[in-house]
Structures are given as C-alpha cells and as structure tokens.
Amino acid sequence: MSDILRLPVEQVYQSELDALKADDTGNKPYNWAMSPQAVVTYLMGGKTASGVDISAKYIGHRRIIETAVATLATDRALLLLGVPGTAKSWVSEHLSAAICGCSTQVIQCTAGTDENQIRYGWNYAQLLAHGPSKEALVATPLLRAMENGSLCRLEELTRMGSDVQDTLITVLSEKMLPVPELNDAIFAQRGFNIIATANNRDKGVNELSSALKRRFNVVVLPLPDSVDQEVEIINKRVAEMGQSLDLPVPKNTADEIAKVVAIFRELRGGETLDGKLTLKTPTGNLSTAEAIAVMVGGLSQANWFSQGQLTAAEISQSMLGAIVKDPVQDRAVLEEYLETVLKKRKGYEDYYHHLNQVL
C-alpha cells in the first residue's frame, strides 16, 4: 500500500483503465485515451471483452454519464451542476482520468482565486532579469491543458467572483488565451476541454453570468433516486475508504448505513419515508457525501475506542454534527424529529437514545 494519503484515481484504478484500453476497438475522439463507450463503461461499471470486471464509479442514470461524455467529445465545455454531495467532483475526476489519463490538472476555485490563477502567472526573478518572455511565464493547469490538448478541471466554479469567472469566456469561445504582455496568444490544441463543477444550492456562491453559462453544456447530477440506491453508494464508498484508512468494516455496517440514510432522507425531504408525516427540515444539505463522512467517522470511533463494535453510540456524535449546523434552528428540528418519529420507530431505539444523549 502506498504511503500517499490519496493517490490520483488514474493510479488507483490503473488496472481497470489498462484493461479497457486493451479491449477498446471503438473510435476515439482526437487525443482521447479510449472511446466514449469505454469511458462510460469505466464510470458505470461492467465487463471488458476479455471478461475483466470494471467497478462502478457512479451509481445512477447511465444517460447522465453518456451526455457528459458526449459533451466532452465536442468543443463545448461541461458543467456538472447539483446540490452538495452528488458526486460532481468524483465524476469530474474519473472522466478526466479515463479521457486523458490525468485528473490532476485542477483549479480549486475559492473566493480568493484571482485571474492569475486561472490564466497564467510570472516567474518574477526571470521577469526582472529579462523582461516578459515565454520562459518567465508560469503555466496554470488551464494553460497546460490548452498546450497539451487535455482536460482541465475547475472545482466549485461558483465559489470565485463573477469577474474572475468571466476570464474563461475568451478561452471557451475562441479556444485561445491572449498574453498581452508578449503581444501574443496561446491557442488550445485539439482535445482540450474544461470540466467545471458547481453547487446550485449552497451558501457563499456567485451566480454565473449568462454569457459564461451559455458556453457550457450543463448536466445536473441528482440526489439518489431511492433509499436502496443511496445505501448502495454509501456501502461502496465506506468500504473503499475503510480499506484506504486501514479501518475494519464490521458486518453490521450495511444495517447501520440503512438507518442513517433513512434519517437523513426524511430530514432532507421534509417527510417520513412513508409520506404520512410532514417534518421540518434542517438548514444543512444532509447529502450522500455527508452520510459517507458520518459512517467513516463511526468506523474510526468503533475501531479505536469501541473494540470494533459499530453501533448508534459510535455514529450519533457525527450525525449530530451533520444535522445541527444552526445551533438553535436545527437543534429544534432534530428534537422534534426524535420525539415524533424515532421515539416510536421499532429498531431505532438506540438512535433515539444516543442522539438525545449527545443533543
């Protein structure tokens, strides 16, 4: 096992990528490592022609991934949009790994991101010694992707200011990046494209301008359709993360995941799963990603402090942190949910008791 905390996915899943490439007989867009059909198989799972199993990276509607891949095969940029925790970054990373073999050309957009981090920077020692030159230019991930005809990932696009976002308009429209200091421009090579991700329901976001939005094909990643689908996603990711963190996964983990998912979906949706009771909703998102984090926290608690026993006692504190973001409003929502729903529900007695205890 590597000492690197988190390897790029193209290294983690290298054997699957190699197997798909070896059996791939489909036509490939220019500079792609594999055909669009093989990319979809890599994301959705399946078997290669020689019988190698490919694990599912995304559990959901196949058409969503097909649309995303088809977009990247054109000169249109792709925007993966959705509420927090719908696997936007995960899909973006795996698309990049499958298409160009590199998922690390990424810009993490924040409120502090400026134009230089998007376009290019300068080596100031070179700049002072020799003046503006190509040698003094410091390439950003976007610039490198343009030069080698590959993909650049822009994470949390709406986190950076609108004026900085609009830096992308020329790149997306003209496929070139002006460098006025050199009276020159850098032109994108064939195969270049952008995958951006953005939340459509979150605090601290900046709306995309209409001009920029028109230059993206938008693919919305929804929350899981059903309880079973969400449980399957969380089971898979918890097992993978448990392995990477050397945390044993107890046999009852799937049962506890099902209970956490039921609680999260009810609070998130504002009604019980049977639709008989309307509930107040907390301010947080209670996404699938947060449920995964809750379960991994529970595994760690169980492993280090509870002799490997995973119960509501190990999970409840992490659940409280996910549910109660506003100490007044969310606390009242959870208290009401515990008394009106969990108190009467068979099999959830431990969650009622321990959530009340930590609350």
Backbone torsions φ then ψ of 336, nearest 5 degrees: -65, -40
Confidence class for position 347, pLDDT limits 50, 70, 90: very high
Beta-carbon contacts of residue 228 (< 8 Å; ≥ 6 apart): none
Whether 91 shows a pLDDT value over 90: the answer reads: yes
Domain residue ranges in the chain: 62-220, 227-358
Both tokens assigned to 184: 């020159």
What is the structure's pLDDT at 203?
A: 64
Both tokens assigned to 175: 């496929």
Residue range 297-301: mean pLDDT, rounded: 96
Confidence class for position 5, pLDDT limits 50, 70, 90: confident
DSSP symbols for 22-90? HH--S---TT-SS-HHHHHHHHH-EE-TT--EE--S--S-HHHHHHHHHHHTTT-EEEEEESTTSSHHH
**Cα 334 to the center of its chain, rounded Å:** 27
Both tokens assigned to 302: 């169980």
What is the structure's pLDDT at 207?
A: 86
What is the structure's pLDDT at 85?
A: 87
Percentage of residues of the chain with pLDDT beyond 70: 99
Backbone torsions φ then ψ of 24, nearest 5 degrees: -80, 115
Closest CA to 77 of 236, 275, 214, 279: 214
Whether 227 shows a pLDDT value over 90: the answer reads: yes
What is the structure's pLDDT at 205?
A: 77
pLDDT tens sequence across 169-223: 999 999 999 999 999 999 999 999 999 999 877 666 788 888 999 999 999 999 9
Would you say how long the chain is, in residues? 359
Whether 1 shows a pLDDT value over 80: the answer reads: no
Confidence class for position 3, pLDDT limits 50, 70, 90: confident
Matching CATH number, 62-220, of 3.40.80.10, 3.20.20.150, 3.40.50.300, 3.20.20.110: 3.40.50.300
Percentage of residues of the chain with pLDDT beyond 90: 90
pLDDT tens sequence across 55-89: 999 999 999 999 999 999 999 999 999 988 899 99
What is the structure's pLDDT at 273?
A: 94
The pTM (predicted TM-score) of the whole model is 0.91
Whether 130 shows a pLDDT value over 70: the answer reads: yes
Range with the poorest average pLDDT among 13-22, 158-167, 232-241: 158-167
